[in-house]
Structure 1
Amino acid sequence: MPLDSPLSRRTVLSSAAGLALALATPTPASAAGFGHTDDGTNYVVDTGAGLVFKVNHSNGDLSSFVYNGVEHQGYDGKNSHIESGLGASTVTVSTPATGVVLIKVVHGTLIHYYAARSGQNNIYLFTYKPDTSVTASRYIARLKPGIFPTTYPDTWSNSDTVIESADVFAKADGTTRSKHFSNLRTIDYDYFGFSTSAASVWVVRSSKEKDSGGPFIRQLLRHGNESGAGLYEHLYYAEGQTEAERFGLHGPYVLAFTDGAAPTSAVSGRDNTAWIDALGLTGWTGAGGRGRIVGNGLAGRDSSYAYVVGLSNSEAQYWAKVDAATGKYAVPGVLPGTYTLTVYKGELAVHTQDVTVTAGDATTLHTITIAGDPAADTAVWRIGDWNGTPAGFKNASLVTHAHPSDSRAAAWTAGPYVIGSSTASDWPAYQFKEINQGLRISFTLTEAQAAVDRTLRIGITSAKANGRPQITVNDTWTSEIPAAAAEPSTRTLTVGSYRGNNHTYTYVIPAGRLLPGTNTLRIDAASGSAGGGGYLSPSYGFDALDLL
């Protein structure tokens, strides 16, 4: 199953750089020691290259992974497993192909697989989830305490102070840590993990074909403190989720072990899936059952931004980066069906259309002309850029890896923003009802500009507790409270994510309320909900604001 986007080649959670992913790198038919045994409680698999792992044959837990003689698995007496453990399951082992050991775990309607390949220090995982009858939102690999550092934004100390929901912590200097602060969108990484000069444990992510949330969702990737650490692959991440859950086979996702380097070429699964085709996995579709999209170009792009093309329907999701020079793109390995194709400028959807993919064929799309970019509209003034993110606003560079209360954050309150002299960095990325209510903008209009009705647009990225903007002009006219946009019901802004269902609120300001000369606009966060108070009060993130 090929990955759905080109490799980012960025360094992810490690100083090691570079990753060449290729699933079917030829391997020896049988490395010395490769094979499986039964110790009475577990199926024991030896990869023949330094990794020995055990799977409990009563519940399917990954109960041990010993790499180069060192046990890395477990903390607090817990194993690695789907969710918090499946419980009693039917577990079998087989050798369905030369150089492959496959362990199959069946629990109700859910089927989970562990696969090992001769000579590779990798555990390949697949999870078939056809419905909601078995709770399975994640796989967690639990790592022993004391092996890996806890100096990252998504790790913390047991002595740190809890400041929100038992999962956001403040250190003595006021900086904040949380398992949510990995600061990576799915499109930004191919692998993540913990690394030392002696040994590293990585998760190489799946294609995310059956996941939800699209290319820009930020998911919990890892956590760590003195009590142990965890690495995650999410099958459905409910925090800040914008889509319904998808069902089917997730994977392969890989638990990879190295001597300190980044994962090597024999890790993922995108170039050649022949070895997986031979395993008979429930829900698996090989390359022959897939099609692809080939796009000839995008017209009307803003060269200042990266563009991404996404495909989604209720069954699957894919995406690909658009070539900055040519505007071309290709989305390989797509299950047959009809999809919504979305063009994103940054993270803002600026074009959608339907497209149908047929197994074994390429669907070629002629040049698409972008017509839905709000930045193309002539504005009297504009604050920020229409790109689906709060980039450029005050604290925007901090909020994806820190809590808004972090001591490194600039004050969320602000004096009047003066059009013509203030800059985007003076405008806060977020507005919280109980933190920075009453944001003000001062602007000047000519007689001609003030003589006609004007439309104000406020674009938000996400909202908490039905927060939405209400405006007051010159302290004489206040808008109605608009209907709340459909946004994730969970936390977003305080757990490292500004992303929701980008929505634009529009307000028609009557000409009689506008003045030639100086005008003042006040923005308040309105909601019928109290939220959780403080930074959990009704709130939203800004994308851009403009007056047309």
Structure 2
Amino acid sequence: MSGSVNRPVRRRTFVLGSAAAGSAALAGPLAPTASAAGFGWSDDGSHYVVDTGANLVFKVAKSNGDLTSLVYRGTEYQGYGGKNSHVESGLGSSTVTLAQSGSTILISVTYGTLKHYYAARSGENNVYLWTNKADTSVSATRYIVRVKAGAFLNDEPDSYTYAPTTLEASDVFLKSDGQTRSKHYSKLRVIDYDHLGWSAGGVGLWIVRSNHEKASGGPFYRSLLRHQSADGGGLYEILYYGENQTEAQRFGLQGPYVIAFTDGGAPSSALFPGTLTTPWADSLGISGYVGASGRGKVAGVGITGRDTAYPYTVGLANAAAQYWGSARSSDGWFSIGGVLPGVYTLTVHKGELAVYSTSVTVSAGATTTLNTLAVPSSNDPANASAIWRIGDWNGTPSGFKNAALMTYAHPSDSRAAPWTGNVVIGGGNETSAFPAYIWKDVNSGLLVYFKLTAAQAAAAHTLRIGVTTAYANGRPQVVVNDTWTSAIPSPPTQPSTRSLTVGSYRGNNHTFTYSVPASAWLTDTGQYNVLKINVVSGSGTTSYLSAGTSVDAIDLLA
């Protein structure tokens, strides 16, 4: 029986949701535990067939644990190109078992050291999933729900339905109007969404993400979330993809994440990470499962030293798990629950820039309360007095030319402004005129023009260039007035895979500093000094896959 509000959808819509989304949905984890009519399972010889007793019937192959059928209100939604829904691209021969415990049915899949689970609850149109990856015997960690062609077509950035021309590799496509499409172009960081999917004809099909405690990359990580093409669509739960990763992968049980059907509205907020509770799963014997009583909480009474123009995020991380929460804008109060016991590095981020860290210990069943955290003024590079500054020190290229577009388009997209162009300090558009990305083969040699007073020109100054990531070891070398050239800096540790062309500027924030001697400046205060920024590297190929870097901020200190 549905517990949702009737909200028919009269046109096809696309939704990537957040916790602020509406809660109209079919019956969820708050549904009555009494068995609904028809709830149960059967064995057709090759599949376990589960009827939730609501409007959903699904099948799991006994041979390999693939989800081979998702029938909602009599319509099949699963499958395209002869492919099923599964972990990775399918696990292969596995041991698959089923057990029922009251109003819960659990299907367990064992493939070597990897264990995967599907659970159904009586009266709910949801499938709960857990994945326990113990080691590297399975290369990545993702679950993909494959959806039949034609059900939810769209022309959003992560769609390539209407883009037959391949632009880069086999996953970036070019439309006839010059716009680009790719499954990588989600626009969103992990912190930005709770659910993703499609809605059409009064039916919504969603994946509600897990809390990502065993994922890697933190709250600002970007990865593919879904795709749509002429032969069907895919919804992803990405836990470790191996692309643009800033951390080693974590192992252990991840979940639950949820496949949810609705009447077209958003899934219930009771399913969202941070909200969902599963006491009904405590006794199911899921490998690696830790219930609420085995977890702790971290609460901070406030954070001082903040720049209130920016959001602040508090993250917890160790080799085994990661968590995060937003700091309250008024005083910096934060609370992070559901944390596995252990010692964590706590990091405070201004925007996406780490400005403070400490260690915190979490115990099961307890709250670790922290006194006010004080961010030292020197930890925020924006507090340093500067002669001029381009951009904001917030760990992102926001505000720079093409920065917003780059989270959902290729740099060659027809909507992008030219990547070349120089900047004059004092013109009022310094940041918006400066490109977010600089490549060795595209726009290296960018010029910044600025004047100095006599007193300023008589002294040495520190030039800083903050970057958020780099591709192929691209890093800036600077030249001042064609008379002084900096040394080539060593490359910082950055992800080794594509980033700038697949919708992500997220890497390891790093600041390059250059000590420019007084002899480099022009003594005529009426003339412009000229700073040239080159990208250097012996790696990379050509064009937008040449060595490059993403810019956070540039300034000349007083």
TM range (shorter): over 0.9
Aligned equivalent of 1:33: 38
Q: Which AA in structure 1 matches 2:504?
A: S
**2: distance between equivalents of 1:39 and 1:532?**
53
Aligned equivalent of 1:240: 244
Aligned equivalent of 1:539: 548
2:84 aligned residue (71, 79, 95): 79
Shift, 1:20, TM fit: 8.3
1:89 aligned residue (74, 86, 94): 94
Aligned equivalent of 1:438: 445
Describe the superposition over 1:8-54 as per-residue Cα deviations: whole angstroms up to 9, x where unpaired: xxx94379942489974142321000010001110000001110000
Aligned equivalent of 1:219: 223
CA contact (8 A) 1:203 1:231 kept: yes
Residues 465-474 or 195-204, more deviating:
195-204
Aligned equivalent of 2:529: 519
Describe the superposition over 1:303-361 as per-residue Cα deviations: whole angstroms up to 9, x where unpaired: 11000000000000000000001210001111111111000000000111111111111
| SS state at 1:410 partner | coil
**2: distance between equivalents of 1:23 and 1:136?**
29
Relative to the length of structure 1, the TM-score reads 0.95
Shift, 1:158, TM fit: 6.0
Matched, 1:296 2:306: no
CA contact (8 A) 1:108 1:134 kept: no
Aligned pairs, number: 536
Question: C-alpha root-mean-square deviation of aligned residues, in Å?
Answer: 1.7
Matched, 1:381 2:381: no
| SS state at 1:425 partner | helix
Aligned equivalent of 1:360: 365
Describe the superposition over 1:450-479 as per-residue Cα deviations: whole angstroms up to 9, x where unpaired: 222110000001100100000000011111
Residues 98-107 or 509-518, more deviating:
509-518
**2: distance between equivalents of 1:40 and 1:506?**
67
For residues 119-518 of structure 1, the aligned pairs below 5 Å read 119-157=123-161, 160-265=164-269, 267-268=271-272, 270-371=275-376, 372-516=379-523, 517=525, 518=528
2:49 aligned residue (44, 50, 53): 44
CA contact (8 A) 2:189 2:220 kept: yes
| SS state at 2:432 partner | helix
| SS state at 2:248 partner | coil
Residues 310-319 or 193-202, more deviating:
193-202
**2: distance between equivalents of 1:14 and 1:341?**
27
* Distance verdict in 2 for CA 1:171–1:305, change over 3 Å: same
Q: Which AA in structure 2 matches 1:29?
A: A
Describe the superposition over 1:53-75 as per-residue Cα deviations: whole angstroms up to 9, x where unpaired: 00001110001010100000111
Describe the superposition over 1:124-154 as per-residue Cα deviations: whole angstroms up to 9, x where unpaired: 0001111112334211110011111131110
Residues 197-206 or 419-428, more deviating:
419-428
**2: distance between equivalents of 1:92 and 1:271?**
26
Describe the superposition over 1:70-90 as per-residue Cα deviations: whole angstroms up to 9, x where unpaired: 000111111110111111111
Shift, 1:159, TM fit: 5.0
CA contact (8 A) 1:25 1:265 kept: no
* Distance verdict in 2 for CA 1:159–1:294, change over 3 Å: closer
Residues 383-392 or 19-28, more deviating:
19-28
Q: Which AA in structure 1 matches 2:186?
A: S
Relative to the length of structure 2, the TM-score reads 0.93
| SS state at 2:393 partner | coil
Matched, 1:111 2:111: no
| SS state at 1:535 partner | helix
Aligned equivalent of 1:13: 16
**1: distance between equivalents of 2:226 and 2:168?**
18
Q: Which AA in structure 1 matches 2:234?
A: G
| SS state at 2:313 partner | strand
Residues 195-204 or 414-423, more deviating:
414-423
CA contact (8 A) 1:14 1:194 kept: no
Aligned equivalent of 1:6: none
Shift, 1:212, TM fit: 0.4
CA contact (8 A) 1:417 1:427 kept: no
Aligned equivalent of 1:8: none
CA contact (8 A) 1:46 1:52 kept: yes
List runs of 5+ in structure 1 lacking aligned partners: 1-10
Identity over aligned residues, as a percent? 59
CA contact (8 A) 1:28 1:99 kept: yes
Shift, 1:402, TM fit: 0.5
**2: distance between equivalents of 1:159 and 1:499?**
26
**1: distance between equivalents of 2:360 and 2:436?**
35
* Distance verdict in 2 for CA 1:20–1:328, change over 3 Å: farther
**2: distance between equivalents of 1:332 and 1:32?**
36
**1: distance between equivalents of 2:533 and 2:143?**
43
